Structures are given as C-alpha cells and as structure tokens.
Chain A
Amino acid sequence: MAVVTVLYFASLRDTRGLASEQVESSAPDLQALYAELQSRHGFSLPVNRLRVAMDGDFAGWGDGVRDGSEIAFIPPVSGG
C-alpha cells in the first residue's frame, strides 16, 4: 500500500474536480494506478494518450508506485 499525491491537469482536472489529492493504492505500477483512478472517476482519456511523471520528471508506465511520491498524469500537450 502506497500513499501518493496525484496531480491532475487540464481535462483530467476538470473531470476529477480537483488539482491534486492524496491517494492510497496497492497498484503495482503507474499504469495500474491510472486504471484504478480512471474506473473510479470516469476519465475519458485512455492511458495510451497520456504520459506519466513521478517526483517532477517523466516516468514509465511500468514503474512502481513509490510511497510518498508526487505523481502526475500528463494529457496530450498543446503549448506553442
């Protein structure tokens, strides 16, 4: 069981209604963590359109969920 801070941006934030929250999860990796949150909150963005970051830098979907970390799901970007 890990306790992490999840950051939501753009349409994920709109759907969740929060910019961030503390989440308790036994998800084995970041992809499973997203799947858990997606099924709970109804995010329409599939995991294959997102990137993921942990503790301020890009991470891999197969990376473990590190207790105490800050995790961000990155929707398709639209800067510039």
Chain B
Amino acid sequence: MNFFELADQPIVIAPLRTALAHPMAGAFASFEGWVRDNNDGRTVDGLRYEAYAELARKEGERVLREAFEKFAIVDARCAHRIGELAVGELAVWVGVSAAHRGAAFDACRYIIDEVKSRVPIWKHERYREGDAGWLHPTPAPPEH
C-alpha cells in the first residue's frame, strides 16, 4: 500500500477520495496546491516539477506514516505531480479521513507542510519575460 504517489499525469481526485471513505470516518479534509500565476513579484507562465523519485517516494511514504502515528486518523493519501504544469493546474493533493474533524484538519496540514519541507521535489518556474529558474528556498527561521 502506497500512501504517497508521484503522478506524471494530471491527478485524478475521485478515486483518491473514494479510497479514503470509511464508515467509521465522520470527517474528511483535503488540501490542493494549485499552480499560481505569480511568485516573488514575477509573472509565472508555467512550471515543471522534478523529483529524485526513489527518495521522494520513500520520504513521502514516511511523512504519511508519521501522520498516522501522530493523529487519530482513519486514512490518508498524498499525490504530487511531476512534469510540466500550466497555471491553475493541480500540483499536489492531500486527503485525510478521520472520525472527527480536528484530527483530519491537523493531519492534512502536517502532511502538506512536511512534504513541502522534506521531499526531494524541485520546482522550475518559467516567467513571462522568458527566463526561468529553479526554486531553492531558504527555510524561515524557527519561531520561538
């Protein structure tokens, strides 16, 4: 069973959502990351995600398994695109089902936050002016 997947074609949501439905789940929370038309004051025309696939799958799977340990959830999935995406396209989908909404929301937040900070996937943005570049963000300083 893989809870995390890399998708090289558009993510199909319905079967992911169906997989998370359980009679014991009273709550479902999901997150969708969409390709935005701007970043850091630049107009974005499109982007490409690349992954170190073997390690991305391994680390993504670890994030999901951590969510099961930390939160009282019934089930969870995450799908992340690789390849070329246009503005408005679905880049990443997270879904969580739980008995109650608190755990569903919390686990959903945890999964997307951890996937964004740990999984070896990189975004290459193309800008309106014709240039393009990799995003290699500096992490925000820890809050006290």
Binary interface profile of B, 17-41, with partner A (CB < 8 Å = 1, else 0)?
Answer: 0000000000000000100000000
How long is the Cα–Cα vector from A53 to B138 in the complex, in angstroms? 20
Cβ of B109 under 8 Å from chain A: no
Chain B interface SS verdict (over half): mixed
Contacts of B137 in A (CB 8 A): 76, 78
A63 to chain B, nearest CB (A): 15
Q: Which residue of A lies closest to B92 (CB)?
A: A80
Contacting B136 at CB < 8 Å: which of A56, A58, A78?
Answer: A78
Q: A56-B54, A72-B55 are in contact. Are A79 and B134 (CB under 8 A)?
A: no
Alpha-carbon separation in the docked complex, A34 to B138 (Å): 20
A10-B136, A45-B136 known; A79 vs B54 contact (CB < 8 Å) = no
Q: Which A residues touch B140, using CB under 8 A?
A: none
Seen from chain A, the residues whose Cβ lies within 8 Å of a Cβ on chain B are 7, 9-11, 14, 45, 49, 53, 56-58, 72, 74-80
Listed in ascending order, the chain B residues whose CB lies under 8 Å from chain A are 33, 49-52, 54-56, 58-59, 80, 91-92, 112, 115-124, 133-139
